[in-house]
Copies of this chain bind each other. A is one copy, B any other.
Amino acid sequence: MVGMDDLLFTPGPVGLPSPVLRAMATPMVSHRSDEFHELYEVVEEKLKRLLMSDEVEVYLLTASGTGAVEAAVANFIKPGDEVLVPLHGVFSERLAETVRAHGGTVVAVDCGDRRGPTAEEVESALRSNPRVSAVAVVINDTCPGVMLRNFREIAEVVKERGCLLIVDAVSAFGGVEIPVRDWGIDVLATATQKCLAAPPGLSIVAVSEEAAARLGGGSPGTYYLDLTKYRDFSRRRETPFTPALSILYALNEALDFILRVGFKRWVDFHEMRARALYSALSELGMRPFVSEDFRSTTVVSVEAEGRISEVAGLLRREFGIYVAGGIGRFKGRIVRVGNMGYLTKRDVVTLVACLALLLRRLGYEPRVGEALSAAYDALRGLTYPRAGR
């Protein structure tokens, strides 16, 4: 059904809480004004709470998540560096490509289609390749929907070897706890339009103080993504280039919303909804694609076998609900249900009910009542605060 607001179960952009959407209509200020400095500072403070550390620098880039990931790579990988990249989906392949584009040599850990690397595999690869100086890893690969729930162990292995740790956390940050300092993350890239429930167009690079001190040593091969500029400007609460100001307003509101919920609870909500979705989709007869240990909490993928492949198109046309298909080599093989940011108990029930109707229409016999109840049972604790509407 068209014309209404879309209900987005996509892996970003995501639906926004009203205050976030409204913030987009805030009038402009100069990005060299005191007002802007204050805005930058409060956003930075709030982001540090989600990064779970004060000892980190935060740079705001007017770019998509891919831009932020490239900035992380370009500024910390020098030509000739050997970089270990676990491959567990389309986005980790892109990360490997980005490393190569900046002259790095990729040492791959190929995990196949349905799982991520174990810490042992990473350790073994590092032992076999002693010249590797950095590990670049996608913490949550939205296609096919693999999340490194064992990321802490992987990070330990990486730090024990003294390697630089670069993390693409675009589709995980905000939806899972990632204590950047405790886990020894040197550079983390993320974006506004995923688990942070803000509009797309702004991305974030978080850099440890040690790594920040190292910036400026050479040419990163990019002008726009040169983090040295971002670092120097961020120290006076500015961006080197004109920022996407409206999105910064919205991000500020989104962070307020998350902190009003409580960051820990916000993360819990992602887990609850993931449990609800995996259970309900199973009751509807849709089989999870990814191995149990690596199933993402921020995007849920199922096999697109038989007529289930028609479900995404029907959901869109009939109900204005957007889920995603596979991309790259996963095209036609999976249906992906995004579970990021601001989704409510009601949204999940809606999706399950609409899916049930369409599966029935396609000739399946989904267990409708059971699916709805399974979702609902998993969502008991999911309630958002009223303040700040």
Using a CB–CB cutoff of 8 Å, the interface residues on chain A facing chain B are 1-5, 7, 17-18, 22, 25, 257, 261, 318-321, 342, 344-346, 349-350, 352-354, 356-357, 360, 368-369, 372-373, 376, 382-387, 389
Contacts and interface: CB of A to CB of B under 8 A. Distances in A.
Given A1-B383, A2-B384, 14 more contacts: A1-B346, A1-B384, A2-B385, A4-B17, A4-B342, A5-B17, A25-B25, A319-B349, A320-B346, A346-B354, A349-B357, A356-B369, A357-B372, A357-B373
Contacts of A18: 5
A360 B373 contact: yes
Contacts of A318: 345
A114 to B, nearest CB: 31
A3 B7 CA distance: 17
A148 B332 CA distance: 52
Given A357-B376, A372-B356, A17 B1 contact: no
25 contacts: A1-B345, A1-B382, A1-B384, A2-B384, A2-B385, A2-B386, A3-B384, A3-B385, A3-B387, A4-B17, A4-B344, A4-B346, A4-B384, A5-B18, A319-B345, A319-B346, A346-B354, A350-B353, A353-B372, A356-B369, A356-B372, A357-B373, A360-B369, A368-B369, A368-B372
A320 B344 contact: yes
Contact of A346 (B321, B342, B368, B389): B321
Contacts of A384: 1-4
A349 B346 contact: no
A261 B369 CA distance: 34
Counting chain B CB atoms within 10 Å of each CB, which of A22, A354, A382 scores highest? A354
Nearest to A27: B27
Nearest to A6: B389
How many copies of the chain does the oligomer comprise?
2
A25 B246 CA distance: 14
A3 B25 contact: no
A109 to B, nearest CB: 40
Q: Which of A3, A344, A360 has the most CB of B within 10 A?
A: A3
The 8 nearest A-B residue pairs measured at CB = A3-B384, A353-B353, A2-B386, A25-B25, A350-B350, A319-B346, A368-B369, A4-B344
Nearest to A365: B369
Contacts of A389: 3
Contacts of A1: 344-346, 382-384
Nearest to A317: B383
Nearest to A5: B18
A79 to B, nearest CB: 46
Contacts of A350: 346, 349-350, 353
Nearest to A387: B3
Q: Of A4, A7, A352, which is in contact with the most chain B CB atoms at under 10 Å from its CB?
A: A4
A383 B3 contact: yes
- Give the one of A352, A353, A360 with max B CB within 10 A: A353
Contact of A352 (B319, B345, B353, B385): B353
Q: Which has the most chain B C-beta neighbours within 10 Å: A319, A385, A387?
A: A319
Contacts of A7: 346
Nearest to A25: B25
A350 B346 CA distance: 7
A318 B25 CA distance: 30
A68 to B, nearest CB: 28
